[in-house]
Homo-oligomer: A and B are copies of this chain.
């Protein structure tokens, strides 16, 4: 694994995401890393992330698939361009679509492993498939179609983020 998480390279302005922004103090702050050709993230749901007692809330699992997917997409784009993740201009991705299959109930109270694979990099689009495991058993499979944030939107963000 690399030492610094993908999300720690995001520019400040794009680090308020509830799922993965290091500057969102109320958020999940997930951290994703390369592990060979795959990407990996470990996350322990909080005690209140309940679906039914004893099992993890599906919307949280969808959020993990989502943010690990966009983080993986960004890392893949840098790797495809043979660029380090701290080089300019920043490459950031948003989710165009998200699909999640709940294969079996995910037990609450233990760390989960989210593993992503890059299925396709085509122009500004990256497709990432991920799986979530609990105690080595896959409980969720998901796919994210991520698209690179257009330059003009980054401009609008700067405008919106002014207090």
A interface, CB within 8 angstroms of B? 13-14, 16-19, 21, 24-27, 46, 48-54, 57-60, 62-63, 66-67, 94-102, 105, 149, 153, 156-157, 160-161
- Using known A-B contacts A24-B50, A51-B94, A63-B62, determine if residue A19 contacts B57 with beta carbons closer than 8 Å: yes
Whole-angstrom distance between the Cβ of A132 and the nearest chain B Cβ: 13
How many copies of the shown chain assemble into the complex?
2
Which residues of chain B are near A50, meaning CB under 8 Å? 16-18, 21, 24, 27
Whole-angstrom distance between the Cβ of A53 and the nearest chain B Cβ: 4
- Report the Cα distance A68→B39, complex, angstroms: 32
Whole-angstrom distance between the Cβ of A160 and the nearest chain B Cβ: 4
- Residue from B17, B49, B94 within 8 A of A18 (CB atoms): B49
- Using known A-B contacts A18-B48, A48-B26, A100-B98, determine if residue A157 contacts B53 with beta carbons closer than 8 Å: yes
Asked if A99 and B98 make an inter-chain contact with CB atoms under 8 angstroms apart, the answer reads yes
- Residue from B13, B18, B156 within 8 A of A57 (CB atoms): B18
- Report the Cα distance A156→B53, complex, angstroms: 10
- Report the Cα distance A60→B94, complex, angstroms: 14
Asked if A16 and B53 make an inter-chain contact with CB atoms under 8 angstroms apart, the answer reads yes
Asked if A100 and B97 make an inter-chain contact with CB atoms under 8 angstroms apart, the answer reads yes
Which residues of chain B are near A66, meaning CB under 8 Å? 58-59, 62
Q: Which of A25, A57, A100, A105 has the most CB of B within 10 A?
A: A57
